[in-house]
Amino acid sequence: MVYSRTPWNLPTLILIVALLKWAHVCGNPTIITYSPFNASVDAAILRSAMNQVGTDEQKIISIVTKRTLKQRLQIISEYDKRFKMKLETELKMEVGGNLFELLHALFQTKPAFYAESIHKAVSRFGPDDQALIDQIFCCLETFKIDKVGQDYKKQYSRDLKVDVKKDVSGDYATLLEALIQGKRRNSTSFHKNVNNSIKIAKELVKTGRKGSGIWLGSEVNPIIKTFSECSYKELAEISNEYLKLTNRPLATLFKSKSTGNFQSLLLKILSYAESPINHFALILKSALEQTPNVNLYKDIHRCRAVIRVLVTRSEVDLMDIEERYSVTANKSLAADVKAATVSYFQKACLNIIRGNR
C-alpha cells in the first residue's frame, strides 16, 4: 500500500505548521548585520567620498545601503566623534533630490523617521493622506506611537495629534485619534482567545445585516475600539472567523458600509493584519505601475511610498515582499524600480532590494 507510507503523519504536520508560523513571524530581510564591520572605517570612507572634488555617490551608496540601521547609527556617532561634524549636514550639502531623501531616511531612528513622514504628509504643501493611511497609521506596530509623538515635538515643537487632526473630520478623525492613543495590544504577547474573536466576528455579522447608517452615531465606536486596540493577530483571527461565518471577506463589509478615508484606513489596517507581505507588495505595485515610464522623480508621493517600504522593511521581510511582488505583478520588483527611476537613486534602491546577504 503506497498510501500508508505517506510522510504526512501528525508529528510531521505539527512540524510543518510550526515552521510556517515561524516563517510568518520571522520574515526574510534583504539587509542583515554586515560583517566585518568597523564604524570608524566606514565613517572615514564616507568622509573622503564627500570631501573630494566631485562627490563619490557610488561609494556613499555602497556603504549606507549595505549596513543595518543599528550600524548606520554607529557610523553617525563615530563620524561626529572623529570629524566633529554632523554626517547628515555634510550629506545634505553633497547629495540632493531623491537620493538625499532616501539616504536621510536610512540614517533615522524609527520614531524619528515616522515623525518626519507624518510631518511631510500633513504639510500644507502637498498633503498626502494616502501615506498616513497606507503606511503610517495602519501599521505602527513595533514601537510605541508616543515615541513618535515625542520625536515630533522635539523636531517641530508641535503636537502630533493636533497636526494630524487639523484637516480631518468625522469617523476618520475619530479613528486616527484612537490610533494615536497607542492602545493596540502587542502581537507577540498575544494569547489565543478564539472565543473573543468569534464574539466580535458575530457582532460584525449582525452589523452587516442591519439597514443603513450602521457606521454612524454611537455604533461606530465598537469598530473603532476593535481596530485601534486589538493586536494585529487578533484582527487577523476576527477576519478569519468572519469569513467562516459568512463566506465573505470582512473587507466586503467595510466596502459596503463605510466610505471615504475612514473606509480606506479600516481596509488598510485589515490588509496589514492579514498579511504584511501582501500589504507592502501591493503598495509597491501601485506606486510603481500607475503610469509606467513616468519617472518617480516627477511624483514625490509615489517616490516616498517606495522609499518608505524599502527603508522600513529591508531588515524585516523585503525579500518576501519582493517574491510576492513578482507573483502579483508578473515582473520583478527590481525591473519595475529600474523602469521608474534613474541614476544614483536607482542604484541605491536596487542595492537595498538586492541586499547584503
Ligand X SMILES: *[C@@H]1O[C@H](CO)[C@@H](O)[C@H](O)[C@H]1NC(C)=O
Binding site for ligand X (CB under 6 A): 38, 40-41, 142-143, 186, 188-189, 195, 330
Nearer to ligand X, 16 or 41 (CB): 41
The Cα 4–Cα 125 span in angstroms is 68
Which DSSP letter does residue 294 get?
S
Nearest to 27 by CA among 223, 275, 296, 328: 275
Nearer to ligand X, 23 or 143 (CB): 143
Distance, CA of 274 to chain centre = 14
Least separation in angstroms between residue 207's CB and ligand X is 22
Least separation in angstroms between residue 191's CB and ligand X is 10
Nearer to ligand X, 52 or 188 (CB): 188
* Residue 335 and residue 45 in contact, taking contact as beta carbons nearer than 8 Å: no
* Residue 87 and residue 76 in contact, taking contact as beta carbons nearer than 8 Å: yes
Nearer to ligand X, 190 or 297 (CB): 190
Least separation in angstroms between residue 39's CB and ligand X is 8
Least separation in angstroms between residue 178's CB and ligand X is 17
Least separation in angstroms between residue 188's CB and ligand X is 4
Give the burial class of 269: count Cβ atoms within 10 A of its Cβ; 0-12 exposed, 13-18 middle, 19 or more buried.
buried
Q: Phi/psi at 319 (nearest 5 deg)? A: -65, -40
Nearer to ligand X, 17 or 41 (CB): 41
The Cα 157–Cα 327 span in angstroms is 44
Nearer to ligand X, 41 or 294 (CB): 41
Least separation in angstroms between residue 330's CB and ligand X is 4
Q: What is the DSSP string of 251-283?
A: HHHHHHH--HHHHHHHHHHHHHHH-HHHHHHHH
Q: Which residues make Cβ contacts (< 8 Å) with residue 3, sequence separation at least 6?
A: none
Nearer to ligand X, 142 or 291 (CB): 142
Please count the CA atoms within 13 angstroms of the CA of 289 that sit on its side-chain side.
Answer: 14
Least separation in angstroms between residue 294's CB and ligand X is 21
The Cα 223–Cα 188 span in angstroms is 22
